[in-house]
Amino acid sequence: MGDFNLALVIVAVVVSVLVLLVSVYLLVNYQHPDDANQAYFPKLVVVLGLTVAVLSILMLPADVANRQACRKAVYNGACSLTLPMKTLWLVVYIVDAVLVFLVIPFAMFYYEGDQDKSVGKRLRTALIWVVASAVVCGLVLGILYGLVGKVDFTVRHLSSSVETFPNSFSGFSSGQPCISSLPRQCAASTAPSSSLTTWTMRATFPEYVVALTTIVGSVLFTIFGGVGIACLPLGLIFSFVRRPKAVITRSQYIKEATELGKKARELKKAAEALHQEERSGNKGRKWRKNVKAVEKELLLLEDDMKALEEMYPQGEKAETTWALTVLGYIGKLIFGVVGLIISIAWVAHIVIYLLIDPPLSSFLNEVFIKLDDVWGLLGTAAFAFFCFYLLIAVIAGEMMLGLKLVFITIHPMKWGGTLMNSFLFNVGLILLCSISVIQFCATAFAYYAQATAAQEIFGHTLQSLRGIKYLYKYNIFQYGFVALAILTLFYYAIFGWRKRKPTGRFQISN
């Protein structure tokens, strides 16, 4: 077992380094050319945030593997090389909270500050905003903690009279479990209903902060994850359905390009008008609404330009470009079908294991256990894949709703065209939802992940907090997740196969 433990430590180190390298790769390839060779502090925050978010998701499978490492230990010290999971979870939560509530807002305020100001003034302005936000959040948390920061545990009070210790235990049975022959109240199965009582204690402030953060993340996770679990695979499949079937003619290309040019000029005029209003200090509600409208139309225009370039490839290697485009859409179909199977398995597992009481089956828990029997880490790898897929679904849902709903700020992720404020916003969202993804996975796979440090953290304390426990008692988040997944499925069944039609000339509110 010692060798297995050492292998686990080595795997954890290697995976951490790989995640860091992948985070740097994503930053380099997604960043906007305008941010090249500048904005180093926001870039550092993005890399750190992505690394922490991914590692926090992978820590749950590592926790399971860490538990299995000592399962067959037969001598003292056999588990001396296992991972200190409780300490690692604590470090991840602290870093996650600091990044989400302090570092990322500071980096966004600094990045979006007036470029005409000096670096010192931009730092001071960003610091003022962050401190003000921290003070408001601290006051709200302090008031809530003082009023309802308690944990209500439902316990059964058992008692038995004092008797002389028996010389023989032959008289004990299921009908006589206690020493005393008087009314048996020391057995939970035979104790009266009046023995149930509530044990109230005050939660620690860090536990309460983690709980409220988890609730906020769970609301976002339910919305984005429920939509994303369906739109992630279906979006890929219907992208294949709406693919360009053939190369268009040159005359068609010129006609479409001319229309896009007209729309681009209109957007440029609108952007210049909004920029003049900003300089004059007229930044009211109508101005912000128009800015969001321009951003949305600009994203749609970029999508139209990309689609036009796909339908009419140019250059010396036009045929090769068209072949790669066709292969790309075939790849989307394959990944979409595989993702659809995983999404169906996720929703079915939630219904079978979490929403039906008692559960019909442990379903995926049994699958992971059987895979572990085939090879030690095969089930753990499959478990990690399902957890990571859920995080990707959250990101996909946020991307979809960001374009559909007006009240959500649009921060798109574009390959080679993502500004740092969009990067920071999405990283903050991922970090906020990552804790809820962990909690959701720990609950959904409670049988497989039993006796882990994560189970201890997301145990009865979180689900017994006053005012919050009912959300977990009645499975509000799970029902919301499944309902939104079904609604998204119907949406794609009705509208997914249609191609987006032009909305006409762009106009802003006067």
3-class SS letters over 287-333? HHHHHHHHHHHHHHHHHHHHHHHHHCCCCCCHHHHHHHHHHHHHHHH
Ranges of H-type helices in 99-162: 104-111, 119-148
Q: Helical H runs in 405-475?
A: 420-444, 453-457, 469-473
Q: How confident is the model at residue 337 (pLDDT cuts 50, 70, 90)?
A: very high
Least confident interval from 72-86, 159-173, 338-352, 409-423 = 72-86
What is the reported pLDDT for 160? 61
387 pLDDT exceeds 60? yes
Q: Taking 50 as the threshold, does the pLDDT of residue 504 lie above it?
A: no
List the structure tokens of 113: 């500050």
**12 pLDDT more than 60:** yes
Cβ of 390: how many Cβ atoms within 10 Å?
Answer: 25
- State the DSSP string of 238-272: HHHHTS--SPPPHHHHHHHHHHHHHHHHHHHHHHH
Model pLDDT, residue 505: 47
pLDDT for residue 4 is more than 70: no
Residue 383 CA to residue 388 CA, distance in Å, equals: 9
Mean pLDDT of 58-76: 66
pLDDT, residue 341, reads: 92
pLDDT of 253 above 50:
yes
Burial of 498 (0-12, 13-18, 19+ CB in 10 A): exposed
Q: How confident is the model at residue 70 (pLDDT cuts 50, 70, 90)?
A: low
Q: CA 106, CA 130: separation in Å to the nearest integer?
A: 6
Percent of the chain topping pLDDT 90: 3
Query: Looking at residue 93, what is its pLDDT?
Result: 77
pLDDT at 19: 85
Q: Average pLDDT for residues 478-497, to the nearest whole number?
A: 85
- Element at 286 (helix H, strand E): helix 285-311
pLDDT at 74: 42
pLDDT tens-digit profile of 425-442?
A: 888 888 888 888 888 888
Percent of the chain at pLDDT above 70? 76
Poorest-confidence range of 193-197, 315-319, 369-373? 193-197
Q: What is the pLDDT of residue 2?
A: 44
Cα 241–246–247 angle (5° rounding)?
Answer: 135
DSSP letters, 392-416, are HHHHHHHHHHHHH-TTSPP----TT
Nearest to 104 by CA among 134, 79, 75, 77: 134
Max avg pLDDT among 70-74, 108-112, 131-135, 398-402: 131-135
Q: pLDDT tens across 131-180, in order?
A: 887 888 788 878 877 777 777 777 776 666 666 676 776 667 666 666 66
Query: Does residue 199 register a pLDDT over 80?
Result: no
Distance from C-alpha of 90 to C-alpha of 207, rounded to nearest angstrom: 11
Angle at the Cα of 424 (from 420 to 425), degrees rounded to 5?
A: 120
Cβ proximity of 436 and 48 under 8 Å? no
Q: What are phi and psi of 31, to 5 degrees?
A: -65, 150
Centroid of chain to Cα 381: 19
Is the pLDDT at 506 greater than 70, yes or no? no
pLDDT score of 466: 74
Tokens of 462: 């979180």
| Low-confidence winner among 69-73, 108-112, 237-241, 361-365 (lowest mean pLDDT) | 69-73
When mean pLDDT is compared over 11-25, 179-193, 466-480, the highest value belongs to 11-25
Mean pLDDT value of segment 71-94: 63
What number of other Cβ atoms are within 10 A of residue 167's Cβ? 6
pLDDT of residue 455: 66
Q: Is 95 helix (H, G, I), strand (E, B) or coil?
A: helix
- What are the distances in angstroms from CA 385 to CA 61, 380, 390? 9, 9, 9
pLDDT for res 75: 40
Mean pLDDT (the chain) is 76
Angle between helices 40-69 and 104-111 (to 10 degrees): 160
Kindly state the DSSP code that residue 12 receives in the 8-state scheme: H
SS3 438: helix
Amino acid 29: pLDDT: 80
Average pLDDT over residues 350-363: 84
How many C-beta neighbours within 10 Å does residue 136 have? 10
